[in-house]
Amino acid sequence: MKRPKRILFLLLTATALPAAACAWGGLFHRAVAEAAQRNLSPKAIAEIERYTQGTPLAAYATFMDEVVADPRYKEPFAGWHASIADSTCKSPVEVRQRYRNSRDGVTAAEWITEELKNYRSLDDSVVLTYIKCLVHIIPDFHCPAHVRYTDAHNEGKFDVTFFGRKILLHSIWDHHLLTRLRPGWDDMRWADYLCETPRKEIRAAKRGSYREWFEDTARDVRISIDWVRPGDALGDEFMEKAASLADKELRKAAARLTKTLERIFGK
């Protein structure tokens, strides 16, 4: 069985198991999904709701993390949470093949979008699963902790002290940074904020391919590798730089998720 057919089979037969930790944290994945949905065209909304039955996209935002421990999803989703760039922040096919065996978010988004060109001919459950994946993968392009480089990485799998609390740097990028930035904000309030992004900025963010979107993030994020070393005590200085970067990437993520869904369902 060829790999795409194998994935279709697994998506049709798999079921979910308990949740795991997720990039950007569930709060921010939901906020990006909600902001994207608010900006979809009526046609795209109508087409998507054929498969979601009116369930908000935010409800699917952490789906890929919720099933990460399920062995039936492990094969098709392996590697899709992160993407790879070379030392110049480029992510051509040959780099993705060589360093991640094409198991990366950019390749996944490209493949899913190709599959969805004829989405009306697919089983409804497969289309819904693909929607859930895109709602998660596109924001993951923009999470600093989910960018990989051929000569370095920004995964942050080491301990630091963040305002007096010992914690993985990866977890700071995923969750703690932005909850500290705007304490008390829920996903709807964050979505309100993301929807306030200037139109000029949104138009600029939407231009380009999945590869170009990720490469844009890789260039933005590269500088953050030098901000922290294992065991560092992080406070206001780190917060100022990191919050600005994360805020910028979240706004792009919301715009680009909207564009992704419009490309497929808005035509």
Identify whether 37 is part of a domain: yes
From first CA to last CA, the distance across the chain in angstroms is 32
CATH number of residue 11's parent domain: 1.10.575.10
Residue partners of 60: CB distance under 8 A and separation at least 6: 33, 52, 131, 132, 135, 136
Identify whether 214 is part of a domain: no
Of 50, 143, 71, nearest in space to 105 by CA: 143
pLDDT tens digits, residue range 83-98? Answer: 999 999 999 999 999 9
Q: Is it the case that residue 189 has pLDDT exceeding 90?
A: yes
Identify whether 212 is part of a domain: no
pLDDT tens digits, residue range 45-69? Answer: 999 999 999 999 999 999 999 888 8
C-alpha 106/C-alpha 83 separation (Å) is 6
Lowest mean pLDDT among 50-59, 92-101, 170-179, 205-214: 170-179
Residue 248 in 3-state DSSP?
Answer: helix
> How many domains, in total, are found in the chain?
1
Identify whether 43 is part of a domain: yes
Identify whether 42 is part of a domain: yes
Domain that holds residue 32: 3-151+254-265
pLDDT tens digits, residue range 193-204? Answer: 999 999 999 999
C-alpha 242/C-alpha 180 separation (Å) is 12
